Chain A
Amino acid sequence: MAADVRLCLTPFDPALEQAQFARAHPQAGGVVSFLGQVRQDGEVQALELQHYAPLTLPGMQALGDATLARWPLDGLLILHRSGVMVPGDPIVLVAAAARHRRDAFAAADYAMDHLKSESWFWKREQRGGEWRWIEPRAEDHADKARWAN
């Protein structure tokens, strides 16, 4: 079984994707999903994620393979936006389906920690009409370090 991994250049519907994923894996007793969306904090007007085609999707696919190799899953979904988004827009959706819920929770957590710290995306925010690149967060690396690899 291969993970369903997509780099989305246009908006996706997380509710629809989650529902289709759960329906596609009726043998799974647990489906865990995580949705990351553009935070509404009153100042951020837009968020842009940039990717590098030769590396970004292949890297996400390798992460999907590594996640599948680590837990007994029935299915794995990884969707990530690239491009310009506004507050409330979905950025990333990870869903894991497993016979038992703990494997699904752990696999989704692992995939998210590695997406945040390792995947080939560069992010900038627009505030007051000005674009500013976001530097890597130490917390993201600490989150990834919770896993042996």
Chain B
Amino acid sequence: MSAKLVFLGRLADLAGASELDVPGGALQDILATLPAPLALALLDERVRFALNGELVGERALVLGDGDELAFLPPVSGG
């Protein structure tokens, strides 16, 4: 069972990749397996989450097989 984390903007630099396959499970358990600076950056209150292409406010997520969770830092576009 695996899920995918997607890192946008500077979070991809911090993660060293734009995507990471992880075993499914509770997000807090998944984040505990990541390097601490990355996990802290992902939990910054300005970072929004999108689960399978939909913005979600809930942070206590459980990721199942095939789920894609994107971490969206503040936008700076246009």
Taking CB atoms, residues of chain A closer than 8 Å to B74 are: 135-136
**Contact at B53–A54, with CB atoms within 8 Å?**
yes
**Contact at A136–B55, with CB atoms within 8 Å?**
no
Quote the shortest CB–CB distance from B76 to chain A (angstroms): 5
Quote the shortest CB–CB distance from B4 to chain A (angstroms): 12
Least CB separation from A122: chain B residue: B9
Counting CB contacts under 8 A, is B72 at the interface? yes
Counting CB contacts under 8 A, is A126 at the interface? no
Taking CB atoms, residues of chain B closer than 8 Å to A137 are: 76
Counting CB contacts under 8 A, is A12 at the interface? no
Segment from A17-25, A69-77, A101-109, A112-120 that makes contact with B:
A112-120
Quote the shortest CB–CB distance from A27 to chain B (angstroms): 29
- Interchain CB contact (< 8 A) of A55 among B12, B53, B76: B53
A-B CB contacts (within 8 Å), total count: 64
Quote the shortest CB–CB distance from A34 to chain B (angstroms): 11
**Contact at B9–A133, with CB atoms within 8 Å?**
yes
Contacting residues of chain B (5-60) with chain A, CB-CB under 8 angstroms: 6, 8-10, 12-13, 50, 52-53, 55
Q: How large is the interface on B (under 10, 10 to 19, 20 to 34, 35 or more residues)?
A: 10 to 19
**Given the contacts A54-B53, A55-B53, A133-B13, A49 and B77 also touching, CB distance less than 8 Å:** yes
Taking CB atoms, residues of chain B closer than 8 Å to A119 are: 75, 77-78
Counting CB contacts under 8 A, is A97 at the interface? no
**Contact at B72–A52, with CB atoms within 8 Å?**
yes
**Contact at A136–B76, with CB atoms within 8 Å?**
yes
Taking CB atoms, residues of chain B closer than 8 Å to A124 are: 9-10
With A and B bound together, what is the CA distance between A52 and B72 in angstroms?
Answer: 9
A48-81 interface code vs B (CB 8 A; 1 in, 0 out): 0110101100000000000000000000000010
Counting CB contacts under 8 A, is B63 at the interface? no
**Contact at A116–B77, with CB atoms within 8 Å?**
yes
Taking CB atoms, residues of chain B closer than 8 Å to A140 are: 78
Taking CB atoms, residues of chain A closer than 8 Å to B13 are: 133
